[in-house]
Structure 1
Amino acid sequence: MIALTASIERRAGGFSLDVSFEAPPGVTGIIGPSGAGKTMALQAIAGLNRPDKARIALGDEVFIDTADGISLPPEKRNIGYVFQEARLFPHMTVAANLDYGAKRRGPGAPASRAEVIELLGIAPLLERHPASLSGGEAQRVAIGRALLSAPRLLLMDEPLASLDIRRRREIMPFLEALHERLRLPVLFVSHNIDEIVRLADRVIVLHGGRIAAKGGVGEVLNRLDVQNLILGEAEDDSTGTILDAKVLRHDDADGLTEVGGEGFRLVVSKLVSPEGTPVRLRLRAKDVALATAAPSNLSIQNVIEGTIRLIEDASAGQVSVTLETRDRGAAIHALVTGRAARLLGLKKGMPVWALIKSVAIAGGK
């Protein structure tokens, strides 16, 4: 299994980047506020800037080692790079843009031309020119061109940032399909927590040029200190909980699916995935209400019993409450008003029931 290993130090103006990490095959999400050093790190890996001190390698192939005087030029690194803008050649058709990527093809292509076209759903676009494409269509073509160069590593620098919500929703299923099909290391930079939750296997949080946290998506992004670091810049500014679950059963009569994991079971709108399929869920803290007695006769179907583990003041007169499920299998964040917390007498160790008004399916189908 070929992994990327990177240790990078670079100073530019008054900013200093100093990071070390490993990215195995699969998607490693990189998230952090503007100016955290995300793009600078990707550019160093691609050979688009010159670090002051670095060792970057993909398996046994060393891209740069300043101590040994090694520095491969960008074209020798066999890296695919997808920018915020599609950067297609305007005078070429989509087919010709794809063929340009294939001309730079190295050995061991992750997918054939036909597979890339099918995965990205771009067969109807092949004879069109970039000017006639929507933003989402153009970005899918740009991703296809990068893949057809047969990269051993794919860098994606906020590839959805320039798209509106509708275009992002259009392209996300194609990115998920790529994630399932390709087994090369992918670094995916985003400001959007939902994109990271939906696509990434692991995550790196950058802040001020340093790694603030890294690890599994739920392990890292469920931490309130991490959420507070990134939410000021994130497009979805709601704290929340990420849960890994599996499809347990389908209720065809009511059009519902039961999903569950350690310490919880939830009902969601019917999914197409078979029983046993892993899914990733996101519960926004603002969509979780609390009760101090077992509720009854509710329209809300998802209720989880737990114990308050932590209470912290949040912004704008709100209180952040973390509860642990009854068998300690999961931690769930809720956001309530300070007034509600006082009236309910919330305190650490108190049994409570979480009333979950909405569940977002962030991964799986």
Structure 2
Amino acid sequence: MHIDYTLSKGAFRLSVDIALPENGISVLFGPSGCGKTTLLRCIAGLEPTATGTLIVGAQTWQSHEINLPPHRRQIGFVFQDATLFNHLSVRNNLYYGWKRIAPALRHDLSPIIGLLGIGDLLNRKPYELSGGQMQRVGIARALAVSPQLLLLDEPLSSLDTAKKNEILQYIEKLRDIIHIPVLYVTHSMNEVVRLADYIVVLKNGVVCAQGKLSDVLTNIDSAIILGDEAGTVLTATVDKIDKRWNLASIRFNGGSVWIRDCGYLQGALVRIRILARDVSIASNYPSLTSIQNIFEGEVDSIGNDEHHSLSLVRIKVGASFILARLTRRALRQLEIVVGKKIWAQVKSAAIIE
């Protein structure tokens, strides 16, 4: 999917040129006002003064010669608020758009209804639903029109933590079964590391970084943009459970890390997150330490951090990379340079859930 847009609105200017995967979840990440929602509106055809190119699959939806109106772009759009029709039941909300697409595009909505757990809500009106229920119905309604592209604009922003976690579980399930690109907007790094396959970092209307999640998070140049959230996300497998100490050994492409046992079954595929601030470096193997996760590695790159007293160090551990945040003083004292063999001490790691 190719997205190339330019738009000026007062003092703000959006200038974006990105290529996204044709499936999985691509996350637009950045602070409020950076242009995330504006870009979604351009893609949906809701910004008439936006110029550029939009290619989805083999179809061109916008170019110098073509500009499909919003109703001809096969898009499912989920807003911050579900924006359901209050006078219609949940069932009729779902079928409102379904009835307006070509018969050849219609599909049985039962699987979506079951997956999102809204079967017992079909006869209710929107005002009888909780915020989380409304967002699940909103997602189902967006998928009911057989979209070629699903846009989610901060769908969790109005929900409390418990409801956010509930909706995230449903979105994770959708990621595994729908074979269309999903573009998800958020300013929450917790949502990014849980959902993203691909990430685009926006700042002041321009792209600061883009790529596979693990590549962007461990890139020294983009990590500084993430500030205190800089770190590593690793895809890993639950290797074994230590019932005596209530710990789980999680194996990644570079070693194993011990974390508290969260009840995952042996063999389960998980994502683990290691923040740069939770990683320290030793020149020699630390034999007497309370830290349980120690990895031999090699310094791959070194970069400046957001504060002049700090540096970011990217460490190659097996086929994976881990970030560490050190003071420049420690960097000098330990004589840390690119290529040096070191020991990375991971003070904390957690399964993303």
What TM-score results when the alignment is normalised by the length of structure 2?
0.87
Q: Compared with structure 1, are the counterparts of its residues 108 and 278 closer, same or farther at alpha carbon in structure 2 (3 Å cutoff)?
A: farther
Q: Partners of 1:62 and 1:54 in 2: how far apart?
A: 11
Q: Corresponding residue for 1:29?
A: 27
Opposite residue 354 of structure 1, the aligned amino acid is A
Partner-residue secondary structure (3-state), 1:333? strand
CA contact (8 A) 1:279 1:361 kept: yes
From 273, 276, 298, the counterpart of 1:282: 273
Could you tell me how far 1:257 is from its partner in structure 2? Answer: 3.6
Counterpart residue identity of residue 60, structure 2: V
The one-letter amino acid paired with 2:297 is G
Q: Decide which moves more: 263-272 or 149-158.
A: 263-272
Contact 1:46 1:79 in 2 (8 A): yes
Q: Residue 55 of structure 1 aligns to a residue in which SS?
A: strand
CA contact (8 A) 1:6 1:55 kept: yes
What SS does the aligned partner of 2:98 have? Answer: helix
1:13 aligns with 2:32: no
- Partners of 1:9 and 1:16 within 8 A in 2: yes
Question: 289-298 vs 23-32, which deviates more?
Answer: 289-298
Is the counterpart of residue 347 in structure 1 residue 347 in structure 2?
Answer: no
Report how far residue 127 of structure 1 moved.
2.9
Kept in 1, the 8 Å contact 2:172–2:195? The answer is: yes
Residue ranges of structure 1 left out of the alignment (5+ in a row): 232-236
Question: Which residue of structure 2 lines up, in the alignment, with residue 234 of structure 1?
Answer: none
1:208 paired to 2:227: no
Distance in 1 (CA, whole Å) between partners of 2:350 and 2:91 is 37
| Structure 2 residue aligned with 1:306 | 297
- CA distance in 1 between partners of 2:304 and 2:18 (Å): 33
Shifted more, 211-220 versus 292-301: the winner is: 292-301
Give CA-to-partner distance per residue, 1:162-199, whole Å, 9 cap, x none.
22222211211101000001010111111112212221
Question: 1:186 is matched with which residue: 182, 186, 211?
Answer: 182
Cα deviation, residue 336, structure 1: 4.7
Q: Please, which of 313, 319, 322 is the counterpart of residue 332 of structure 1?
A: 322
How many Å apart are 1:310 and its aligned residue? 5.0
Mapped contact 1:32–1:229 kept (Cα < 8 A):
no
In the other structure, the counterpart of 1:259 is 250
Quick one: distance in 2 between partners of 1:33 and 1:259?
33
Given that 2:37 and 2:153 are in contact with CA atoms closer than 8 Å, whether structure 1 keeps it comes out as yes
Q: How many residues of Structure 1 are paired with residues of Structure 2 in the alignment? A: 348
CA deviations on 1:91-130 (whole Å, 9 max, x unpaired) are 2232222222322345445x63211111112223223332
Contact 1:56 1:62 in 2 (8 A): yes
Worse-superposed segment, 79-88 or 352-361:
352-361
2:221, 2:303 within 8 Å by CA — same for their partners in 1?
no
Equivalent residues of 2:35, 2:205 under 8 A apart: yes
Among 111, 127, 134, the residue aligned to 2:130: 134
Q: In the alignment, which of 62, 72, 76 is matched to residue 76 of structure 1? A: 72
- CA spacing shift, 1:247–1:128, aligned 2, 3 Å: same
Note the C-alpha offset of 1:278. Answer: 4.1
**Residue 139 of structure 1: CA displacement?**
0.9
Corresponding residue of 1:159: 155
1-structure distance, mates of 2:181, 2:236? 24
Q: Distance in 2 between the 1:201 and 1:51 partners? A: 31
Report the secondary structure of 1:128's partner residue.
Answer: coil
Q: How far apart, CA to CA, are the structure 1 residues paired with 2:194 and 2:241?
A: 22
Tell me the alpha carbon deviations over residues 64-109 of structure 1, each in whole angstroms, 9 at most, x when there is no partner. 22x21x2221111121001111111222232222222322345445
The C-alpha deviation readout for 1:211-257, integer Å capped at 9, x for no partner, is 222211111122243233244xxxxx432112233343455665544
SS of residue in 2 equivalent to 1:63:
strand
TM value normalised by structure 1: 0.84
Maintained 8 Å contact 2:315/2:324: no
Provide the rounded CA distance (Å) in 2 between the counterparts of 1:310 and 1:221.
14
Identity across matched positions, percent: 38
Is it true that 1:43 corresponds to 2:41 in the alignment?
yes
